[in-house]
C-alpha cells in the first residue's frame, strides 16, 4: 500500500511512448526474461510496477543492457497488477491499474536483470485521494471530434461521451500516439485540469514527425 510519506524500492518497466495515469488501465504482454522475472517477483509482494519512459529509447523500446541503459525521466506512474494470466510459453499477460505518480530519487543496482529505483510519492498525494476535478467535457469532446475529422481517425464518439470526464481525458491522453516528450508533459501535469489544458494544446497541434506514423491504439474503456 502506498502512502504519501512513502519512499519505496520500486521495480520499473521503461517503455517509450507508453502513458499510465492514476485510475487508468494498461494491458501488457510481458515476454522478455528480465520483465518476466520482475512480474514473478512483484506477484509475491505488493504487485506494484513503475511505468516510466527512458529518455533515449533502446533498440527494442524496452531499455537496453545495464552497461548501455538510458537515463530515465524523473517522473513515472506506479501501477498495481489487477489481472495476470501466465502463458504456457512463459509470458505474462497482465493489466496494470495506475495508482500514483512517483519521482525517482535515485536508481539502485539491477535485480534479476530489471531496473529498480527509490520512488517518492509525497508530491503526488492528490493521486491517492482520487478526487474528481471539474473538467470541461464538452470542450474536450469538441476538440476530439475536430481532431478525428482532421486526421482521419475513427472514434466511437457515443462511447467517449458516456465516459466520466476524467476517464475520457485519460483514455484519450494515453491512446493517441503523441511524441514521448508530449506524453511526459501529460503525465507530469499537476492536476487533471492542467492535463486537460495540455491535451487540448496537443490536439490543436496534431502529430509531428514519427508520432504520426505510429499505429493508433484503440481507446480503452475504463
Backbone dihedral region for residue 116 (phi beyond 0: left; psi -120 to 50: alpha; all else: beta): beta
d(C-alpha 21, C-alpha 32), whole Å = 24
* Cβ contacts of 71 within 8 Å, gap of 6 or more: 54, 55, 56
Average pLDDT of 18-31?
95
Residue 181: which pLDDT band, with cuts at 50, 70 and 90? Answer: very high
The per-residue pLDDT for 156 is: 86
For 35-97, the DSSP string reads: HHHHHHHHTTTT-EEEEE-BSS--TTSS---GGGPPPB-SEEEEEEEEEEEE-TTS-EEEEEE
SS3 assignment, position 173: helix
- pLDDT of residue 203 exceeding 60, the answer is yes
The per-residue pLDDT for 210 is: 38
The per-residue pLDDT for 208 is: 54
Single pTM value for the model: 0.85
Most confident of 2-11, 111-120, 200-209: 111-120
157, containing H or E segment: helix 157-162
Residue 57: which pLDDT band, with cuts at 50, 70 and 90? Answer: low
- pLDDT of residue 44 exceeding 70, the answer is yes
d(C-alpha 9, C-alpha 49), whole Å = 10
CB 172 within 8 A of CB 195: no
* pLDDT (tens digit per residue) in 127-163: 988 656 678 889 999 999 999 898 888 888 888 889 8
Strands 25-30 and 92-107, bridge-based pairing: antiparallel
Average pLDDT of 90-94?
96
Amino acid at each position: 500500500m502506498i502512502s504519501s510519506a512513502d519512499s519505496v524500492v520500486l521495480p520499473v518497466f521503461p517503455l517509450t511512448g507508453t502513458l499510465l495515469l492514476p485510475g487508468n488501465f494498461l494491458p501488457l504482454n510481458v515476454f522478455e526474461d528480465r520483465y518476466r522475472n520482475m512480474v514473478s517477483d512483484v506477484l509475491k509482494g505488493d504487485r506494484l510496477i513503475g511505468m516510466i519512459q527512458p529518455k533515449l529509447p533502446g533498440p527494442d523500446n524496452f531499455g537496453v543492457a545495464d552497461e548501455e541503459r538510458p537515463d530515465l525521466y524523473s517522473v513515472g506512474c506506479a501501477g498495481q497488477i489487477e489481472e495476470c494470466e501466465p502463458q504456457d510459453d512463459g509470458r505474462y499477460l497482465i493489466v496494470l491499474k495506475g495508482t500514483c505518480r512517483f519521482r525517482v530519487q535515485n536508481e539502485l543496482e539491477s535485480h534479476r536483470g530489471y531496473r529498480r529505483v527509490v520512488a517518492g510519492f509525497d508530491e503526488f498525494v492528490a493521486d491517492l485521494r482520487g478526487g474528481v476535478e471539474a473538467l470541461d467535457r464538452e470542450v474536450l469532446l469538441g476538440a476530439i471530434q475536430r481532431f478525428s475529422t482532421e486526421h482521419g481517425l475513427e472514434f466511437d464518439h457515443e462511447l467517449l461521451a458516456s465516459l466520466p470526464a476524467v476517464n475520457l481525458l485519460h483514455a484519450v491522453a494515453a491512446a493517441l500516439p503523441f511524441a514521448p516528450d508530449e506524453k511526459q508533459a501529460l503525465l507530469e501535469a499537476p492536476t487533471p485540469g492542467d492535463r486537460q489544458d495540455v491535451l487540448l494544446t496537443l490536439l490543436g497541434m496534431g502529430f509531428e514527425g514519427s508520432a504520426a506514423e505510429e499505429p493508433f491504439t484503440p481507446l480503452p474503456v475504463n
